[in-house]
Amino acid sequence: MTVPPLDRSTIWPYEDGEPGEYHYGRYRNPTQSAAERALGELEGGEALLFASGAGACTAVVLAFLQPGTTIALAEGAYYGTSVLFRELETWGLRFVEFDQTGEPPDGVDLIWLEAPSNPFLTMPDLAAAARHPAPVLVDATAATPVYLRALEQGADYVLHSATKFLTGHHDVVLGAVVCRDPGDAQRLGDLRGRTGIIGSPENAWLLQRGLATLEVRMRRHTENAVAIAKRLTGHDAVEHVRYPGFGGLLSFDVAGGADAARKVETGTLRILNATSLGGARSTLETRRRWEGERVPDNLVRLSVGLEPLEELWDDLNRALSR
Ligand code: PLP
């Protein structure tokens, strides 16, 4: 078969009167297993898909932590992750934030890094985290396995919002966790089946299709983003540019404060003024509306897409010159 099949079944007949590998869709599905194998190969571990990136985060906490345990979370990581952890404080979870470019704090039970962080674009010190006795999770949503295979650098878990670059077209909400240890994957799979935080077969199928073009897409995202980061640096209307040198995500502060930043985000035609990142179509937005005071009010996050570079730059440059 040239194209992988999409199996939408929720039930499969028992084999000799007993449930086989696939029996009920809340546990596993062949289309999902195929996508998990493909992602697992890219990361060098065992992958499990979840209903969303946030669903994947929830599953990790519920599977591996208990009331009273503490997560050391990378400062400036995706704001929704800290919002989720705060929500789970009611259930006894604790978390502290730390500068992921240095040593994680003592006395924590899980280290949660983000490579690179969204929207501050810092990279974690993976070696320092691996020396710490606690297990290490890396949210590699923005790096993707094209630029980082964190399990090879001592991480225990890699997490993705597959909503972003892995599927890559702003048409799927999906999450993934890749485990180094098969026992952890088993535990996480059991938890997923019990809680039902599972993705749909359609989205798993779209993930598999996305992975087939991931590498070429990421190279093109990077080519465009490197050029745009360079042109933004030194632009009169820009105060500060954050870009780690790879991938499609960057952020910059617009000279002139919040009003000037708003003019930029509402002034592009080709680049969508919308949230999210990682799609073929470029998106940009000020982040203050979501993240409050933890981000500068003139910070614009830009997810550089796959459009022709000069068209993107003309669009952005025109908005910056308004
Ligand atoms: N991790 C990162 C780095 C993200 O940017 C996001 C969403 O923006 C998530 C996790 C959550 O993913 P989802 O929106 O698929 O639930």
19 has pLDDT over 90: yes
C-beta of residue 128 within 8 angstroms of C-beta of residue 104: yes
For residue range 217-249, what is the model confidence (pLDDT) as tens digits?
999 999 999 999 999 999 999 999 999 999 999
Mean pLDDT of 273-287: 98
| CA nearest ligand 1 atom 13, residue | 53
Position 3 scores a pLDDT of 87
Position 302 scores a pLDDT of 99
Q: Is the CB of 139 under 6 A from ligand 1?
A: yes
Average pLDDT of every residue of the chain = 98
What number does CATH give the domain 30-212?
A: 3.40.640.10
For residue range 161-183, what is the model confidence (pLDDT) as tens digits?
999 999 999 999 999 999 999 99
Give the start-to-end residue ranges of the domains of the chain.
30-212, 215-320
Instruction: Name the pLDDT band for 2 (thresholds 50, 70, 90).
Output: confident
Atom of ligand 1 nearest to the CA of 276: 8
For residue range 23-35, what is the model confidence (pLDDT) as tens digits?
999 999 999 999 9
Q: Is the CB of 84 under 6 A from ligand 1?
A: no
Q: Whose CA is closest to 166, among 32, 51, 278, 305?
A: 278
b/e sequence 57-71, b meaning 16+ C-beta within 10 Å: bbbbbbbbbeeebbb
Contacts for 208 with CB less than 8 Å, ≥ 6 apart: 4, 31, 34, 35, 38
Mean pLDDT of 256-260: 98
Q: Is the CB of 120 under 6 A from ligand 1?
A: no
Instruction: Name the pLDDT band for 272 (thresholds 50, 70, 90).
Output: very high
Q: How far is CA 232 from the centre of its chain?
A: 24
191 has pLDDT over 90: yes
Strands 70-74 and 157-161: unpaired
What number does CATH give the domain 215-320?
A: 3.90.1150.10
1 has pLDDT over 80: no
Position 101 scores a pLDDT of 98
| CA nearest ligand 1 atom 15, residue | 53
Q: Is the CB of 88 under 6 A from ligand 1?
A: no
| CA nearest ligand 1 atom 2, residue | 78
